Amino acid sequence: MFTSGSTGAPKGVPISYDNLAHYVDGVSTLLALPDGLRFSQFFDLSFDLSMHDIFVSMRHRGTLVAPTQIDIMMPAGYVTRERIDAWFSVPLLGAQLGAGKRKDGFGGLRSMLFCGEALPMETVVACRPWLADGGRMWNLYGPTEATIAFTAADVTLSPRLDGNASIGHPFGSNHTALLRNDTTVAKQPVVGDEGELLLGGPQVFAGYSTDAPSPFIAHGDTTYYRSGDLVRIDDEGVYFRGRVDSQVKFRGYRIELGEIETVARRKFGRKTIAVVVAGGGAEAKLVMYHLAAEDVDGSGIDLRLLEDTLPNYMIPTVSVALDVMPTNQNGKIDRRALASLTRTD
């Protein structure tokens, strides 16, 4: 798999047979599903989560049911018609399912899994009526470098009413630690601890196949992958707070906002461009800001020109010209201010 890079050069992530075997063993034990179920298959084969669909359904002697494009737009009909037992998708598709009403003739889902981006508790609540009696709903988390998913939270009965769901605890042979702001490493963090999430165990890859800085940190006799994710430890496990850098999850894809900015500056000949994710859930969109004063030739910004360089999910929806770019105390572009500006306009 190749992940987006802030320099515009994708990073190759080689996942070994052993990495994948440990994932399939760990998640299968966690889910404890019976054999012979019918599994959804929403993920494109270029998305690492598709490997879960293929190998976990194979492990359980199941049937993998590929939906049509219309099914993806109307997942309630697909689930009911195909008698799906095990659901796996990004949260946005779950929100579409939750907006539909479960028909009386459908027995319900044995398992619902979400991964790829933050899971809003509103989606959890909306999807609960789709579970069969005894069915369970899980929120999974994990970067490509740690093989599909690394932690899991059973949110079937989570008491949270708003915000995002916890990402839970490591499963299988996985283990985590926390790199605190004071640079100390906590192998057994306590409730209230905050810092960068570190990942260790047999699911973590051995290193990039392309030229890239080392993503690892050594602590004692253990080497951890630095996820770049800021988390807080709470009663339900690990709670995602954001990214250390500008990397974000958008529509289920992991992207570097810096890569979009690099391409856009080169394409449009501008020095000052900032891309932010504005809004949340189904309303989330990529917005590109630029300085009006830099439009010296009057050509403006035509976002369609990015189509020959960037995939569709990385192309901003709208471009906004500003007279002054908001900055923080360090003189850096204040991206939070830009995102707030979009939501209030």
Q: Which of 173, 195, 217 lies at the terminal end of a domain, its last residue? A: 173
Residue 225 lies in a domain: no
Q: Quick check: 225 pLDDT over 80? A: yes
What mean pLDDT is reported for the chain? 89
SS3 at position 69? helix
Percent of the chain with pLDDT over 70: 93
67 and 42 in contact (C-beta within 8 Å)? Answer: yes
User: 225 Cβ partners below 8 Å, 6+ apart?
Assistant: 143, 145, 146, 198, 199, 200, 204, 205, 215, 216
Higher pLDDT pick, 326 / 35? 35
**Same domain? 161 vs 251:** no
Q: Quick check: 178 pLDDT over 60? A: yes
**Same domain? 169 vs 258:** no
Q: Which of 204, 202, 51 is nearest to 115 (CA)?
A: 51
Q: Quick check: 310 pLDDT over 60? A: yes
341: buried, middle or exposed (CB in 10 Å: 19+, 13-18, 0-12)? middle
Residue 48 lies in a domain: yes
Give me the residue label for tokens 């985590």: 176
For residue 9, give both structure tokens.
């050069």
pLDDT of 344 reads: 43
**Same domain? 168 vs 254:** no
Residue 217 lies in a domain: no
**Same domain? 139 vs 12:** yes
Confidence of residue 246 (pLDDT cuts 50, 70, 90): low
**Same domain? 168 vs 252:** no
> Mind listing the pLDDT tens digit for each residue in 269-291?
887 888 998 877 777 889 999 98
Residues 45-53: what's their mean pLDDT? Answer: 92
pLDDT of 213 reads: 84
Q: Residue 257 belongs to a domain with what CATH number?
A: 3.30.300.30
> Mind listing the pLDDT tens digit for each residue in 15-30?
999 999 999 999 999 9
**Same domain? 47 vs 161:** yes
**Same domain? 7 vs 129:** yes
Within a 10 A sphere around the Cβ of 21, how many other Cβ atoms? 14
**Same domain? 137 vs 277:** no
Within a 10 A sphere around the Cβ of 269, how many other Cβ atoms? 12
Query: pTM of the entire structure?
Result: 0.76
**Same domain? 14 vs 96:** yes
Q: Quick check: 266 pLDDT over 90? A: no
Q: What are the Cα distances from residue 253, in Å, to 46, 207, 313, 328?
A: 10, 21, 8, 28
Residue 202 lies in a domain: no
317 and 287 in contact (C-beta within 8 Å)? Answer: yes
Residue 26 lies in a domain: yes
**Same domain? 286 vs 148:** no
**Same domain? 38 vs 143:** yes
Residue 228 lies in a domain: no
pLDDT of 345 reads: 45
CA atoms of 64 and 56, how far apart (whole Å): 10
Q: Structural domain tally of the chain?
A: 2
Q: Residue 142 belongs to a domain with what CATH number?
A: 3.40.50.12780
**Same domain? 119 vs 35:** yes
Q: Containing domain of residue 334, as a range?
A: 247-344
Q: Which of 218, 24, 237 is nearest to 151 (CA)?
A: 237
pLDDT of 243 reads: 74
Category of 251 on φ-ψ map: left (φ > 0), alpha (ψ -120 to 50) or beta = left
Confidence of residue 174 (pLDDT cuts 50, 70, 90): very high
Q: Which of 139, 173, 207 lies at the terminal end of a domain, its last residue? A: 173
> Mind listing the pLDDT tens digit for each residue in 62-75?
999 999 989 988 99
pLDDT of 155 reads: 97
Residues 240-257: what's their mean pLDDT? Answer: 76
pLDDT of 330 reads: 45
> Mind listing the pLDDT tens digit for each residue in 109-152?
999 999 988 888 889 999 999 999 999 999 999 999 999 999 99
pLDDT of 53 reads: 97
- Taking CB atoms within 8 Å and a gap of at least 24, the contacts of 215-218 are 215/145, 217/179, 217/185
Residue 87 lies in a domain: yes
Residue 251 lies in a domain: yes
Strand-pair category, 175-179 with 38-40: unpaired
Q: Which of 150, 173, 196 lies at the terminal end of a domain, its last residue? A: 173
